Amino acid sequence: MDRMLVVIFPNESKAYEGKRALQQLDGEGSISVYAYAVLTKNADGTASVKQGDDVGPIGTLVGTALGSLIGVLGGPVGVAAGAAAGMAVGSTVDLNNVRVGSDFIDDVQKVLVPPNVALIAEVDEDWTTPIDTRMEGIGGSVFRRALSEVRDTADDEDVAAMKADLAQLKAEHAKAQADRKAKLQDKINHLDSKIQAQLQRAKDRRDAAQRKAQAKVQTLKAKAEAAKAKAS
């Protein structure tokens, strides 16, 4: 099952130990790790993201559920992205793309306070014991949530509702007096812009999901080839 994983550690050293344990589990075939990052919250309210050079083929976090979750957890003050991350997470947050419930975010935010550090990862796991055992042994507290797939339906419903409003405004505009037409036209233009923006966001998310799916296939192929080479 595709899940978002957040493990809270008491310090950065433990978080990197957790990262190495996660990679070991991936190497053993117990789980698949698609992308990860280490997030630290600073006393001044800022946050720092450090994404390893050895991250999988998904690469950049922009447009992914993981990147959006990091942006939310990093907070509105801003996120200072590490050089390896190649992005300013705080400026690219898409709340619609987080794909986990607000209760999950609230639970994580309650414990993600200095000096605690979060290891955040998107993983595929068939059972929870491997990760829980390793992380708890290092001193980490594990939070996980299956990723929701319902956003596209909500996008369609939002756009349909706005288009209905737009049709009503156009009908009123056609019958309005001259002094009212200008105000209605402003509303029409504003709503049309919102529709176009929503359609573009939905397209961006679909494109990101397609890239991620392709990256996952490549990850699994690489693992299969490595296992075959090791067995021969």
List of residues 6+ apart from 229 with CB closer than 8 A: none
Structure tokens at 58: 């998904």
For the chain, which residues make up each domain, given as ranges?
Answer: 2-147, 151-205
* pLDDT range class, residue 161, cuts 50, 70, 90: confident
- Look at the block and give the residue holding tokens 């156009």: 170
pLDDT digits (tens, 9 = 90+) for 78-106: 443 333 333 334 444 455 567 777 778 88
Is the pLDDT at 214 greater than 70? The verdict is: yes
- Look at the block and give the residue holding tokens 């507290």: 141
- Look at the block and give the residue holding tokens 């978002």: 4
Which residues pair with residue 41 across a beta bridge?
47
Span 45-66, mean pLDDT?
61
Query: Which of 3-7, 131-135, 210-214 is predicted with the least confidence, judged by mean pLDDT?
Result: 210-214
Is the pLDDT at 70 greater than 70? The verdict is: yes
Span 181-186, mean pLDDT?
87
Dihedral Cα 62, 66, 69, 75, nearest 10 deg: -60
Considering only residues 63 and 7, tell me which one the structure prediction assigns the higher pLDDT. Answer: 7
Separation between Cα atoms, residue 145 and residue 50, nearest integer Å: 22
Measured between alpha carbons, how far is residue 103 from residues 69, 143, 144, 152, 161 in Å?
Answer: 13, 11, 12, 21, 27
Separation between Cα atoms, residue 35 and residue 120, nearest integer Å: 9
- Per residue, the 3-state secondary structure of the chain, as one string, reads CEEEEEEEECCHHHHHHHHHHHHHHHHHCCEEEEEEEEEEECCCCCEEEECCCCCCCCCCCCCCHHHHHHHHHHCCCCEEECCCCCCCHHHCCCHHHCCCCHHHHHHHHHHCCCCCEEEEEEEEECCCHHHHHHHHHHCCEEEEEECCCCHHHHHHHHHHHHHHHHHHHHHHHHHCCHHHHHHHHHHHHHHHHHHHHHHHHHHHHHHHHHHHHHHHHHHHHHHHHHHHHHHC
Angle of CA points 54, 78, 197, to nearest 5°: 90
Separation between Cα atoms, residue 47 and residue 115, nearest integer Å: 11
